[in-house]
Structure 1
């Protein structure tokens, strides 16, 4: 994580992208780290959002490439279970995309949205909105409590 922070904006973009795939890391900590090193607040917001969104879209498209018979054969998931999961995804539809930023389950939501072919353009839009809102909260917290964040990191 220190290496990504030391790369500044590029590190923020790369880390935010990777954090929104199945790689376990925190884009939030990375964002605060770059801000604490003097990064432009609104530039960091944009970079973290776009990087994280593109990573989420990558997970969506990985799901899109999946096939039912592969899931059944390789992961030993029965067709009935896939139908049940599809029912849940159909119930919430594109609104799940707002929550693809959540740790662990967010990646599963993004992959499921792609796998079940839930409206690509609207899924992408709601993913962007959810991720922007998440990072906006962190930026606003940082602005309000910058001195505490810097002390905490030091």
Structure 2
């Protein structure tokens, strides 16, 4: 049941809704849950949440003109993705900016599989660091 809670926390944290899955993950790591499973579950939840934001960007691009819907953060995310391309999605774990990058990738119709793989790689690395640090603190 705890892993389901971690998955949900990670999913919500990676959408446009606020959340902090790192705290849940760190707490579970200190409680001696399996580190590899923690990383896998959190990464999958967070990646799926980011992919939903990618789809939101795609949907908005199809339905509404950019100047009517996008906020400044989304416009800035599109500018970054246009400048740096898909590799910027490795930074999708960043607070605030990461959601904008995922939205922008959908808006710009970057390939979904490439986007998802880059998002997954960045988020897995971040969660591995969180688990490692929590393990050092909990020891």
Q: How well do the aligned residues superpose, as a CA RMSD in angstroms?
A: 2.4
- TM-score w.r.t. the length of structure 1 is 0.78
- Structure 1 unaligned spans of 5+: 1-6, 148-154
Contact 2:78–2:105 (CA<8 Å) still a contact in 1?
Answer: no
- TM-score w.r.t. the length of structure 2 is 0.86
Instruction: State the number of aligned residues.
Output: 137
Q: 1:103 to 1:84 in 2, by over 3 A?
A: closer
1:140 to 125, 132, 139: 132
Q: 1:116 to 1:8 in 2, by over 3 A?
A: same
Match of 1:56 in 2: 50
- Structure 2 unaligned spans of 5+: none
Q: 1:102 to 1:76 in 2, by over 3 A?
A: closer
SS of equivalent residue, structure 2 residue 64: helix
Higher relative contact order (CA 8 A, sep 6+): 2
Q: Distance in 2 between matches of 1:69 and 1:33?
A: 41
Which structure would you say has the larger Rg?
1
